[in-house]
Amino acid sequence: MTTSSSKTRSNGRTKWLDLRVNGVAVQCADGGRVLDAVRDAGFEVPTLCYDERLGAQGTCRMCLVEVEVNGRVEQVASCTAFAEEGMDVATHTDEMRSYRKTLLEMLLSEMASPNNNPYSNKVGPTEFDRAVEEYEAKWDALPHLRPRVKAEHDENPFIQRDYDYCIACYRCTNICNDWEQAAAITVDGRGQDSSIFTFFGNELIDSPCTFCGQCINTCPTGALTDRKVVSQDISAEDVDRTQSVCPYCGVGCGIEILTHDGEIIGAEPDFTAASRGSLCVKGQFASWEFVRSEDRLRHPLIKQPGGTFRKASWDEALDLVSSKFKDAIADEGPDSVVCWASARVVTEANYLMQKFARVAVGTNNIDNCSRT
Amino acid sequence: MSNSIEELAGTDFLLVTGSNTTEAHPVISLRMKRAVKNGAKLVVVDPRKIELTKWATRHVQIKVGTDIPFYNAVANVIVNEGLYDPEFVEHRTEGFDAFARHVQMYTPEYSAKICGVTPEEIIETAREFAAAAPKASICYTLGITEHSCGSHNVQSLGNLGLLCGTLGVPNAGVNPLRGQNNVQGAGDAGCIPTDLPGYQKVERPGIREQFEEAWGESLPKRRGITKITAMEQMIKGRVKAVYVMGENTIVSDPHANHAEHALRSVDFLVVQDIFLTETAQLADVVLPAGAFAESDGTFANSERRVQRVRPAVAPPGEAKTDVEILLTLFERMGKPQGMKTATDVFNEMRSVTPIYGGISHERLERDGGIQWPCGDEDDPGTEYLHGDEFSTGFPGFFAPVDHIPPAEEPDDEYPWMLTTGRRRSTYHTGTQTGQASGFQLLVPHEMLEINPRDAEEMGLQDGDLLDVASRRGQVTVATRLTERSPRGLVFMSFAFPEFTRTNDVTSDAYDFITETPEFKACAVKISKSARQDEEFKQAQRRIRLAGEVKQPTELMPGMNGRNGHGHS
């Protein structure tokens, strides 16, 4: 499998192709896929097996479009087909719409209870939900097949697996094996019997799974969900999202902080950031509980004789701090004061901290923990 | 980093040294794994059999603290076989002739003995690196810098970049992977005793005057003191008041007893943090701060990318953001700043920090993260440094550095070498990961990783409680048998200070230029603790260290398996 290079457009030598999508003129880099042209032209087709970080698979067939080039008309999966000069692309003809609806109804026929997906409403309308709604696909349009083999009982605290909602798109196994290269999960069986399994059918905690959560984030249906988030039983429409940056290592992966009613309830990757949707176990599962911890400091504290702390007002605490600093400066000179900034807080606070040392105290005794 | 994270995926050769990347920087390791999948060679130079070695073309298992003889010997091969880039050496560097003479004594045979490897491993690494250059990336982190010769270790890697011209080009570079989310930003902002914002030297003529004019204040002329020096001065009674923001110093710093003693020695200690950390408990005044998810501003990541941090929730109780607290404190000190928001602060910072000149909160909102240096609003930022010339304005100087062994090496009394680092699912001193539910399943407590044959000789089993002592302190920790540790070398992290305060044991030596502590090497002795606890043995059975794979016999239900310490 290769990485998609169609998005690379910074190279001045790139040859550009002219296409039309539903009558809209669009340019696409030579070597780019039809799907890129469709999206650049402002149209959307469902792409249930596609993750831009992985090579196109072309297995779900939902992105099928009609193309006309040099007098020949074909139906192609837009994720795998290359763009060609002069190509005319039609995404939403009656035939294409009907085709997608049938495909969705085939997928629905494999599901135990699509309207009762207990997770869907908590993780928001999934890609699959949105496609079902757009194409008005019906659960009972086709005879029901035996549901997929269920995952083994798996009580890990991070990843919830419910393969009733699996559509065998294999995005989870591809992200795990090709992108993360963790090789924790694999496809077992063929066709209707295919299922997602760990090797030897063990629980994830006994597999090479690192709990990076990337399978959850690429899953288009809610078969894989963040147990910490869904267990809070909050409806997705009541969840707000704030783009930010993971508070752990120096990679600086983009995250979306999930909040409900003024409280932080989870985190997801920010796919628009330079990290391209990647997170590790800390960013996915450890980046928010500490924020709402009971152990957080809520008041300034002043130490009493005897060594215990008492609550204090900001006025009292800051008066004490400033008077002690002033005393030290007056008695021993500004170099008797030392300020240590933090590799954990925003740059703006660090800028103020060094300026505080240099301007308010009058010393260059400012350092941070870059050595430790 | 001189280059960008994404560029790693497109390189032809990766040298990863002193970096347990899959655990300490998991998402950077994805780009390394991608490079290998695309056909790149990966050479991991590391004393431990870390997880990344599974992807490596070659794992060179040097002894702790022998980086310089190894890389000098690599340079020796490159010089003597004529594999260097003569054009780059001539136009971009100085000191080649002296350096070429200097590395003559570091023959592959000579260094191989010091490093505990074969001469062939050195020769092949040199040839592969030179053959791939300039598309050859060197990545390192604290395994290189946290030595008493850390700055020389870095220079020995820099020499290779200068020899083969792997600087100033894409998919290359000599790349330190930064440890903490905003360690880069703290340096950028001037939280360095020698540097004003943007790495402008306090003592360089004209710099201080520029800031005096911009800030309208007279400024101190002499450079300040580092943390290490400051702690010595505290104990000597020369430091009276200390202001610590967001750092659990007495757990994170080496020789923790010393750090604690230092902070207890001052008249007045202020700690500003989100928890009542071990360090905050020593304070006279504790100021409750906002966490990242409550703060407005920016972080700068390892590849110099400035990214927007936004408040999602309000700080709890009466806690305030660090920016608010500091602005109020300025007023109390009689120096009101006339700034209200993080955006005001950033705007002032960019006006005095040329490398941030073109970056603004507004632009970050619109375009996403930007990599400095970014001079003006039209500058897209900089993916890799040193393009046409080195950012210092000087040529690249070869550094003829010599082997300096760790300050403390095993002897009869303290026969084991201890090295410290991180594990994937814990972080630093554990104040944050310790709050995440479920993580105790992944790593429940501190573990001393020891080679199974060493353990066998000592009669140790998984979960046995040990006393680990150095000349400075002693801790109690559970045993973990693993092939990740070579014989004679044991490993611990420092994320469980409530039971195992690892840094009570670590060395008090530090690099004489940067004053970076030698966390990566100290001599210890190990003995079975008087206290034994079934809990640790039980917990140990479920843990899987990164890179370890359980054997089929352990995984198949109904089969008699060994207890969970299979190896890859």
The C-alpha R_g of chain B, in whole angstroms, comes to: 24
Question: According to the model, what pLDDT value does residue A115 have?
Answer: 59
Asked if residue B388 has pLDDT above 90, the reply is no
The predicted model gives B451-463 an average pLDDT of 94
Could A303 and B284 be called an inter-chain contact, meaning their C-beta atoms sit closer than 8 Å?
yes
Question: According to the model, what pLDDT value does residue B560 have?
Answer: 39
When pLDDT is cut at 50, 70 and 90, the band that residue B443 belongs to is: confident
- In tens, the pLDDT along B166-225 reads 999 999 999 999 888 999 999 999 999 999 999 999 999 999 999 999 999 999 999 999
Average pLDDT, chain A: 88
Residues of A in contact with B299 (CB under 8 A): 245, 252, 346-347
Q: Which residue of A has its CA nearest to B365?
A: A243
Query: Which of A302-316, B341-355, B549-563 bottoms out in mean pLDDT, i.e. has the lowest?
Result: B549-563
User: B235 at the A interface (CB within 8 A)?
Assistant: no
Gap between the Cα atoms of B265 and B269, Å rounded: 9
- In tens, the pLDDT along A302-343 reads 999 999 999 999 999 999 999 999 999 999 999 999 999 999
Residues of B in contact with A179 (CB under 8 A): 30, 34
Distance of residue A199 Cα from the nearest chain B Cα, in angstroms: 9
User: A12 at the B interface (CB within 8 A)?
Assistant: no
Contact B161, B138 (CB under 8 A): yes
Which parts of B182-322 are beta strand (E)? 195-196, 200-201, 241-245, 268-273, 285-288, 297-300, 305-309
Closest residue to B327, CB basis, from A240, A320, A352: A352
Closest residue to A363, CB basis, from B183, B224, B510: B224
Which of A211, A270, A285, A352 to mutate against chain B (most B CBs within 10 Å)? Answer: A352
- In tens, the pLDDT along A339-356 reads 999 999 999 999 999 999
Could A340 and B549 be called an inter-chain contact, meaning their C-beta atoms sit closer than 8 Å?
no
Distance of residue A255 Cα from the nearest chain B Cα, in angstroms: 10
- The pair of structure tokens assigned to A286 is 């450890």
Question: According to the model, what pLDDT value does residue A8 have?
Answer: 39
Residues of B in contact with A286 (CB under 8 A): 425, 427, 432-433, 435-436, 439
When pLDDT is cut at 50, 70 and 90, the band that residue B257 belongs to is: confident
User: B541 at the A interface (CB within 8 A)?
Assistant: no
- In tens, the pLDDT along A184-211 reads 998 887 777 777 888 777 788 888 899 9
DSSP string, A233-265: ---GGG-EEEEEE-SSSTT--EEEEEEETTEEE
Question: According to the model, what pLDDT value does residue A251 have?
Answer: 95
More confident residue, B226 or B426: B226
Gap between the Cα atoms of A190 and A210, Å rounded: 26
Question: According to the model, what pLDDT value does residue B543 have?
Answer: 76
Residues of A in contact with B552 (CB under 8 A): 200
More confident residue, B356 or B395: B356
Asked if residue A46 has pLDDT above 90, the reply is yes
Secondary structure (3-state) at A362: coil
Residue type, B75: A
Distance of residue A16 Cα from the nearest chain B Cα, in angstroms: 23
Domain boundaries, chain A: 16-92, 313-371
Asked if residue B553 has pLDDT above 70, the reply is no
Question: According to the model, what pLDDT value does residue B95 have?
Answer: 95
The predicted model gives B518-544 an average pLDDT of 83
Query: Which of B98-107, B147-156, B210-219, B542-551 bottoms out in mean pLDDT, i.e. has the lowest?
Result: B542-551
Task: Residue B380: name the closest of B305, B309, B310 by CA.
Answer: B305
When pLDDT is cut at 50, 70 and 90, the band that residue B550 belongs to is: low
- In tens, the pLDDT along A217-227 reads 999 988 899 99
When pLDDT is cut at 50, 70 and 90, the band that residue A151 belongs to is: low
Question: According to the model, what pLDDT value does residue A258 have?
Answer: 95
Distance of residue B78 Cα from the nearest chain A Cα, in angstroms: 32
Asked if residue A236 has pLDDT above 90, the reply is no
Closest residue to A206, CB basis, from B320, B327, B555: B555
CATH classification (class only), B183-371: alpha beta
Could A336 and B330 be called an inter-chain contact, meaning their C-beta atoms sit closer than 8 Å?
no
Q: Which residue of A has its CA nearest to B55?
A: A181
When pLDDT is cut at 50, 70 and 90, the band that residue B565 belongs to is: very low
User: A257 at the B interface (CB within 8 A)?
Assistant: yes
Closest residue to B550, CB basis, from A206, A259, A371: A206
Asked if residue A5 has pLDDT above 80, the reply is no
Residues of B in contact with A257 (CB under 8 A): 293, 312-313
Question: According to the model, what pLDDT value does residue B559 have?
Answer: 42
User: A176 at the B interface (CB within 8 A)?
Assistant: no
Asked if residue B288 has pLDDT above 70, the reply is yes
Gap between the Cα atoms of B56 and B144, Å rounded: 19
Question: According to the model, what pLDDT value does residue B202 have?
Answer: 95
Among residues of chain B, what percentage have pLDDT more than 90? 77
- CB pairs below 8 Å between A and B: how many? 475
Which parts of A261-368 are beta strand (E)? 263-269, 301-303, 309-311, 337-340, 366-367
Q: Do domains B183-371 and B416-555 have the same CATH topology?
A: no
Asked if residue B436 has pLDDT above 90, the reply is no
Question: According to the model, what pLDDT value does residue B558 have?
Answer: 44
* Diameter over CA atoms, chain A: 91
Question: According to the model, what pLDDT value does residue B561 have?
Answer: 36
User: B59 at the A interface (CB within 8 A)?
Assistant: no
CATH architecture for the domain at B6-177:
3-Layer(aba) Sandwich (3.40)
Number of other CB atoms surrounding residue A254 within 10 Å: 25
Question: According to the model, what pLDDT value does residue B557 have?
Answer: 47
Q: Would you report the helix, strand and coil content of chain B in percent, each value rounded to 5?
A: 35, 15, 50
- In tens, the pLDDT along A86-109 reads 999 999 999 999 999 999 999 988
Give me the residues of B, 188-227, that contact A with CB < 8 A.
188-194, 196-197, 202, 211, 215, 217, 219-220, 222-227
Please state the ipTM of this predicted complex.
0.91
- In tens, the pLDDT along A238-278 reads 999 999 999 999 999 999 999 999 999 999 999 999 999 99
More confident residue, A13 or A317: A317
Gap between the Cα atoms of A291 and A263, Å rounded: 9
Distance of residue B337 Cα from the nearest chain A Cα, in angstroms: 10
User: A232 at the B interface (CB within 8 A)?
Assistant: no
Residues of B in contact with A226 (CB under 8 A): none
When pLDDT is cut at 50, 70 and 90, the band that residue A372 belongs to is: very low
Asked if residue A28 has pLDDT above 80, the reply is yes
The C-alpha R_g of chain A, in whole angstroms, comes to: 27
Tell me the backbone φ, ψ of residue A224, rounded to 5 degrees: -120, 125
Distance of residue B118 Cα from the nearest chain A Cα, in angstroms: 30
When pLDDT is cut at 50, 70 and 90, the band that residue A371 belongs to is: very low
| CATH T-level assignment (fold) for domain B416-555 | Barwin-like endoglucanases (2.40.40)
Which parts of A22-61 are beta strand (E)? 24-29
Closest residue to A249, CB basis, from B181, B222, B284: B181
Among residues of chain A, what percentage have pLDDT more than 90? 67
When pLDDT is cut at 50, 70 and 90, the band that residue A149 belongs to is: low
User: A330 at the B interface (CB within 8 A)?
Assistant: no
When pLDDT is cut at 50, 70 and 90, the band that residue A140 belongs to is: confident
Query: H or E element: which one contains A355?
Result: helix A347-355
Gap between the Cα atoms of B487 and B481, Å rounded: 11
Could B436 and A360 be called an inter-chain contact, meaning their C-beta atoms sit closer than 8 Å?
no
Which of A348, A353, A365, A369 to mutate against chain B (most B CBs within 10 Å)? Answer: A348
Give me the residues of B, 547-566, that contact A with CB < 8 A.
549-550, 552, 555-556
Distance of residue A193 Cα from the nearest chain B Cα, in angstroms: 22
More confident residue, B540 or A264: A264
Closest residue to B28, CB basis, from A157, A251, A353: A251
Closest residue to A244, CB basis, from B241, B309, B317: B309
Question: According to the model, what pLDDT value does residue A35 have?
Answer: 96
Domain boundaries, chain B: 6-177, 183-371, 416-555
Gap between the Cα atoms of A163 and A169, Å rounded: 12
When pLDDT is cut at 50, 70 and 90, the band that residue B515 belongs to is: confident
Give me the residues of B, 114-143, that contact A with CB < 8 A.
none
| Strands across the sheet containing A72-77 | A24-29, A16-21, A88-90, A64-69, A72-77
Bridge partners, A160 (sequence order):
A225
Distance of residue A218 Cα from the nearest chain B Cα, in angstroms: 16
Average pLDDT, chain B: 91
Residues of B in contact with A291 (CB under 8 A): 291-294, 313
User: B368 at the A interface (CB within 8 A)?
Assistant: yes
More confident residue, B101 or A54: B101
Q: How many CA atoms lie within 13 A of B46 on its CB side?
A: 31
- In tens, the pLDDT along A287-302 reads 999 999 999 999 999 9
User: A231 at the B interface (CB within 8 A)?
Assistant: no
CATH architecture for the domain at A16-92:
Roll (3.10)
User: A15 at the B interface (CB within 8 A)?
Assistant: no
Asked if residue A3 has pLDDT above 50, the reply is no
- The CA–CA distances, whole Å, from B5 to A255, B27, B173, B304 equal 17, 9, 11, 10
Virtual torsion, Cα B216, B218, B222, B224, nearest 10 deg: -60
